[in-house]
Amino acid sequence: MPVSLESSQRIFEALQAVDVRVLSALPETWLVHLIRLAEDDPQTTLVRLAKEEEGVGVSMGAHLAGVRSAMLMQNHGFFAAVNGIISGAQLYRIPLLMLISNRGVFGERDPWQTEGGLLTTHVLDALRIPFQTLGSPGEVERTIAGAMTLAYAALRPVAVLLDRELMWEEPS
Amino acid sequence: MKRLDALRAIHDRLDGVAVVTIMGAVAAELQTIGHHDNFFYLQHAMGLASSVGLGIALARPERRVVVFDGDGSVLMNLGGLTTLARYRPRNLVHVIFDNGSLLSVGGFPTATSTGSNLEGIAREAGAPRTRTVDELPGFVEAFDDALGADDLSLIVAKVEPVGPAGYVTDLTLLENRFGFARWLASAGAGP
């Protein structure tokens, strides 16, 4: 599977560097290595969800209890979590770091991802969630650290869109 | 059994416990009996109270956590029961007040009123300790038993579909949220 192990490792290390201890996730092709890294790490509590919106609740609880967390999900999982984000994390001013695989954009081969790909950034904008797209491995640490810093200063959700060029290595 | 009486009967057991409730009647009634900083009322995000409880329980395994949920809320997040059972936080007690009704939005009957069995769903999801109670002494006994157990416990408490006249209290959402976080930060290892 041509998901980048090196980028996954960098992202995981960047999450550790900002003290993320609880990571909730739903599987998505691009996130398989990241989820396995979290599972294998004794310092990280991985919560495998049934649906992404649950992860907003888990992160709320972790934050109220003084522990840093993040969510890993696909853009369609982000769509599935919208009410929890609005009436949980935003209403209660929770710093919620969301790493979202940005499916359905240039280079996408799966037809079923294409409709959601049109909407990801628009939904983020509509929810007034600050986000940056992360495509370069060299930007991983700085972007994730910056996202966490803003989330805690603003006490609001913040998103990092994980792009194809970061997560996917086309077979040569 | 009335939910208000059930809450009143176990209110003194909540000292030192991180309590998460759903919106509406449960939150208003608990505040009527007496608010403390260790109570957090999730006044929206319907369905996520048990997920918030799971996050607290995983982050603070030494602290007892109680979630006061409702049938309508649990039915919105049935998958959450499988996540709770999967991680089986031994410090979490999940109470579901089941009145068969979405009372706070006009009494729309839920599926528990036509036979859906939340204890059965939770048990088959893998929850290790489940009970259904329908009268006050049984509820108090089940709650004390759950608080004393070192395992994830779920109690479905059948209650009458009655609640307070209104749901807005003088405790603002953010005041509650920050007070609760501060309590958790200052409370050391506890029950």
Contact of B116 with chain A, judged by CB distance below 8 Å, is answered with: no
pLDDT above 90 as % of chain B: 91
Contact of A83 with chain B, judged by CB distance below 8 Å, is answered with: yes
CA distance A82 to A53: 7
CA B108-B136-B16 angle, 5° bins? 95
* A169 within domain boundaries: no
Q: Which of the four pLDDT bands, split at 50, 70 and 90, describes residue B103?
A: confident
Contact check, Cβ <8 Å, A50/B80: yes
pLDDT above 90 as % of chain A: 95
Chain A, residues 99-158, CB within 8 A of chain B, namely none
Average pLDDT, chain B: 95
**What pLDDT digit, counting tens, does each position of B106-116 carry?**
788 999 999 99
Section A110-131 average pLDDT = 98
Considering only alpha carbons, which residue of chain B is nearest residue A62? B55
Q: Which of B19, B22, B52 to mutate to test the interface with A (most CBs of A within 10 A)?
A: B52
* A94 within domain boundaries: yes
- Domain segments of chain B as ranges: 3-186
- Number of compact structural domains in chain A: 1
Chain A residues within an 8 Å CB radius of B126:
none
Chain A, residues 4-33, CB within 8 A of chain B, namely 21-22
* A170 within domain boundaries: no
What region, left, alpha or beta, does residue B94 occupy, with left being phi > 0 and alpha being psi -120 to 50 degrees? beta
Contact of B22 with chain A, judged by CB distance below 8 Å, is answered with: no
Taking 70 as the threshold, does the pLDDT of residue B188 lie above it?
no
Section B141-153 average pLDDT = 98
CATH number at residue A13: 3.40.50.970
* A165 within domain boundaries: no
Range of the domain at A136: 5-158
DSSP H helices, chain B, are 3-10, 25-34, 49-59, 71-76, 78-87, 118-125, 136-148, 173-186
Contact check, Cβ <8 Å, A84/B79: no
C-alpha distances in angstroms, A70 versus A45, A103, A170, B190?
A: 11, 19, 28, 26
Contact A126, A98 (CB under 8 A): no
Contact B48, A53 (CB under 8 A): yes
CA distance B124 to B81: 10
Considering only alpha carbons, which residue of chain A is nearest residue B83? A49
Contact of A39 with chain B, judged by CB distance below 8 Å, is answered with: no
Taking 70 as the threshold, does the pLDDT of residue A170 lie above it?
yes
Section A146-171 average pLDDT = 95
Section A105-118 average pLDDT = 96
Chain A residues within an 8 Å CB radius of B44:
87-88, 91
* Reported CATH class of domain B3-186: alpha beta
pLDDT at A171: 72
Q: Which of the four pLDDT bands, split at 50, 70 and 90, describes residue A151?
A: very high
Nearest to A157 by CA among A83, A49, A85, A69: A85
Taking 90 as the threshold, does the pLDDT of residue B190 lie above it?
no
Taking 80 as the threshold, does the pLDDT of residue B104 lie above it?
no
Chain A residues within an 8 Å CB radius of B43:
91
Taking 70 as the threshold, does the pLDDT of residue A118 lie above it?
yes
**What pLDDT digit, counting tens, does each position of A60-76 carry?**
999 999 999 999 999 99
Average pLDDT, chain A: 96
Q: Say which of A55, A61, A91 has its CB closest to residue B56.
A: A61
Contact B93, B146 (CB under 8 A): yes
Contact check, Cβ <8 Å, A66/B184: yes
**pTM for the whole structure:** 0.97
* A166 within domain boundaries: no
Contact check, Cβ <8 Å, B177/A93: yes
pLDDT at B189: 54
pLDDT at B147: 98
Q: Which two tokens stand for residue B12?
A: 């003194």
* A57 within domain boundaries: yes
Considering only alpha carbons, which residue of chain A is nearest residue B53? A61
pLDDT above 70 as % of chain B: 98
Q: Number of H helices and number of E strands within chain B?
A: 8, 8
Taking 70 as the threshold, does the pLDDT of residue B10 lie above it?
yes
* A122 within domain boundaries: yes
Nearest to A64 by CA among B40, B189, B68: B40
**What pLDDT digit, counting tens, does each position of B28-57 carry?**
999 999 999 999 999 999 999 999 999 999
Taking 80 as the threshold, does the pLDDT of residue B60 lie above it?
yes
* A168 within domain boundaries: no
